[in-house]
Structure 1
């Protein structure tokens, strides 16, 4: 585990430190700036792990800071250390808003207190901002510590000593509700001819909990074989439904009559649960059980690399006439089931930087020229599945030389939302809520959303 955590400036010089163990010498951090400089000279890409004289330097960069954890090679759990460093920066962001060199120098006391509570002898302890804020505050904590004889000094809340450190006791609501959203973001890279070069699904199961007491929730999901590979290590059988049931177009794995498993083109890249989930229950029974934090949180995140067809497809053609006029045609099609409707579709079509005097013709939606982005923005508020719309734009090229050919190297960017639909086919079978003491009536709500990710693009040429 971590022996010490340091905050360093952008040159690698230490600003603040907290040592948890004595197995790393005090002078070890002095080598960090030199090691950093050597790596910058050798390569443009700096690895996040450096080994020097049996000491591991594990660091992340945040604004003008390096946050460095030191550990010996024999005791370090690299994944756990990096998870802690990112969590530490998240907690500091809750307290300091902006985490940079100046804010670190101005808040030594509160940072020391947080680091003492978040890690003990190099092992992460309390990392939930909601719990930490109950007894570590920037304004009052210094005053409470200054009065040494004060008898009624604030003490850590009792729930920190319980197994459920992420939820306080005594929470009450007049109406007990739990809102569950399954949100899938699609990233794709598509050629002009429609060939998919890269596609991935980034999914999140988001929950907003407004439940009294200490409720125990049980979530059953129909994962369509997504987590099969994750569970195979325990030899768990998985029932996989018909892939065409929800029209996802994703090929799934299945079990043949002779017991042999067919190949699947779904590959689970990342699967991350909130700490409230009982992992053993999920691995053994494929049931997600948990006591939720109060408010909003991500219960589960996953990423799938799989071959899927474009949900919103655009065929864009650009023609130049007489070296002074450019014509742009775009044909957009919603390649989803007819019962589904894509909402808030935005198609950003790049044009040459010096294009002007636009004129448009279009069959649906609205269209405008966005000169600051050198692009045409076509908005379609509602795009039913199976429908096809077209637009035509003509623009002038006043600075065009007779020997030049206008080149548009940027891709077309597409944004959209499709409610009540998941590309992977994940479905909620049930969401059961049980509070053993209060036994109240609860209302679970489930919603599905598929949307474009940060990188849903179509090449023009």
Structure 2
């Protein structure tokens, strides 16, 4: 049970506000934003997703730069409320096509209508896009997606030399194409977030993959779909290692620790031929979530070294090598390394001919930042940084710095080697042939190398 729901912009502007029970003061949105803002300024990092202030519990998630917030005075389940906020964001995106501040402001009437159907007097009624289509009939005011900056992994999927259509993630489930027709198509995204920790000598200490098979359907009549995965897919620890230096695009044994499925998935044939049968609801939903802690080939190797170079000076050498095929390119790479607190100045030296690299020293929090626009598979990149200190280090300088962390996005690559072998849609007629898109992306969740 929640008392209020509101959406704030990055500036703290109140875009959407709904008070369901009148138990929490009206100024809660301003109180929340000030608390979150000062939490960051006080050097404690981002505010936690759940916190209590003056007897009010605040729950929030950040979606494409917007803060979705719920408040309550009762001791509600945090996981329940956070999941509700994510589902509300997904429903709004399904209806508007594009989720951002501009689309929310233009469609505020439709958004409030959706909120009134999703929540009644603080109690959740439904978060299913398909169910809501029976009650909410208004079409959205479409925001031109061409003017929007790319958001998230879905904007950079490429299949060979053919870019996915721009409507892939910006189309409403209720709005028709020009001319009143609806384009029949379905998107299946295999999105993996990987966590790896390397020791100072380069060995893998921990490795984990959190993956999801996400589906977005624009098929009329909800036809039955058959989704086939790797035939030798194994669920549960079998004690085997699948550490293999072959390309991740190949098949091979895939061993998942555990997984769960959407309620619409029928698993009668799953144990026999690893085929998922489902009648997909309209909108976006996770077909399958999975986790893997078996060894896998990490996409990047990071080597980091820091050593003293005379009085009040030290040198940092960072090397990054892409361990995937040269046909694959990683995007939006950012490497960060905390430096000793007495560092006053940093000078950088990149490789000759380096393109698309930017370096920076964040003096406020003593952090080195190195960003690369792209890294082609098989390539290696090196950065040298010369540090100047305000005082001598009386201890081990290695203990004063690090660890090195890295974020990245790699389209059309997945570390687990889980694959969709085929996507079969039940035919309504001989001429029925909807578009099918299967896409892969790997992102860093926690990619860390110790010094």
Q: Which residue number corresponds to residue 312 of structure 1?
A: 300
- Unmatched 5+ residue regions in structure 1? 9-14, 17-58, 70-80, 98-106, 120-124, 138-166, 233-240, 254-265
Q: Which residue number corresponds to residue 289 of structure 1?
A: 277
For the residues of structure 2 that align with 1:433 and 1:352, how far apart are their CA atoms? Answer: 58
> Pick from 311, 314, 338: which aligns with 1:350?
338
**CA contact 2:199–2:449 (8 Å) conserved in 1:** yes
Q: Which residue number corresponds to residue 415 of structure 1?
A: 407
Q: Which residue number corresponds to residue 221 of structure 2?
A: 213
> Pick from 445, 448, 451: which aligns with 1:457?
448
> Pick from 228, 246, 257: which aligns with 1:268?
257
**CA contact 2:321–2:381 (8 Å) conserved in 1:** yes
> Pick from 423, 427, 441: which aligns with 1:431?
423
> Pick from 354, 358, 371: which aligns with 1:379?
371
User: Where does 1:36-435 land on structure 2 (aligned, <5 Å)?
Assistant: 65=72, 88=84, 114=119, 126-128=126-128, 131-132=131-132, 135=135, 173-222=181-230, 224-227=232-235, 229=236, 246-247=247-248, 252=253, 266-269=255-258, 271-283=259-271, 285-363=273-351, 364-365=354-355, 366-371=357-362, 372-397=364-389, 399-401=390-392, 403=394, 406=397, 407-434=399-426
TM-score scaled by length of structure 1: 0.59
- Describe the superposition over 1:95-131 as per-residue Cα deviations: whole angstroms up to 9, x where unpaired: 9x9xxxxxxxxx9xx8899469988xxxxx8442553
SS at 1:131 equivalent: helix
**CA contact 1:243–1:251 (8 Å) conserved in 2:** no
For the residues of structure 1 that align with 2:212 and 2:279, how far apart are their CA atoms? Answer: 18
TM-score scaled by length of structure 2: 0.60
1:410–1:242 CA distance, 2 compared to 1 (3 A): closer
The CA deviation at 1:267 is: 4.5
For the residues of structure 2 that align with 1:344 and 1:61, how far apart are their CA atoms? Answer: 30
For the residues of structure 2 that align with 1:438 and 1:293, how far apart are their CA atoms? Answer: 23
Larger radius of gyration: 1
- Describe the superposition over 1:360-404 as per-residue Cα deviations: whole angstroms up to 9, x where unpaired: 21123423223144222222333223222212111211x214646
For the residues of structure 2 that align with 1:310 and 1:245, how far apart are their CA atoms? Answer: 12
1:441 aligns with 2:441: no
For the residues of structure 1 that align with 2:221 and 2:251, how far apart are their CA atoms? Answer: 41
For the residues of structure 1 that align with 2:253 and 2:347, how far apart are their CA atoms? Answer: 46
Aligned length: 332
- Describe the superposition over 1:415-434 as per-residue Cα deviations: whole angstroms up to 9, x where unpaired: 22222222111122111122
1:274–1:369 CA distance, 2 compared to 1 (3 A): same
1:329–1:287 CA distance, 2 compared to 1 (3 A): same
1:349–1:432 CA distance, 2 compared to 1 (3 A): same
Pairwise CA RMSD of aligned residues? Answer: 4.5
For the residues of structure 1 that align with 2:381 and 2:324, how far apart are their CA atoms? Answer: 14
**CA contact 1:7–1:67 (8 Å) conserved in 2:** no
**CA contact 1:360–1:367 (8 Å) conserved in 2:** no
SS at 1:449 equivalent: strand
The CA deviation at 1:83 is: 7.8
For the residues of structure 2 that align with 1:381 and 1:427, how far apart are their CA atoms? Answer: 27
SS at 1:212 equivalent: coil
The CA deviation at 1:133 is: 7.3
The CA deviation at 1:268 is: 1.2
For the residues of structure 1 that align with 2:216 and 2:199, how far apart are their CA atoms? Answer: 39
For the residues of structure 2 that align with 1:118 and 1:285, how far apart are their CA atoms? Answer: 41
**CA contact 1:342–1:382 (8 Å) conserved in 2:** yes
SS at 1:203 equivalent: strand
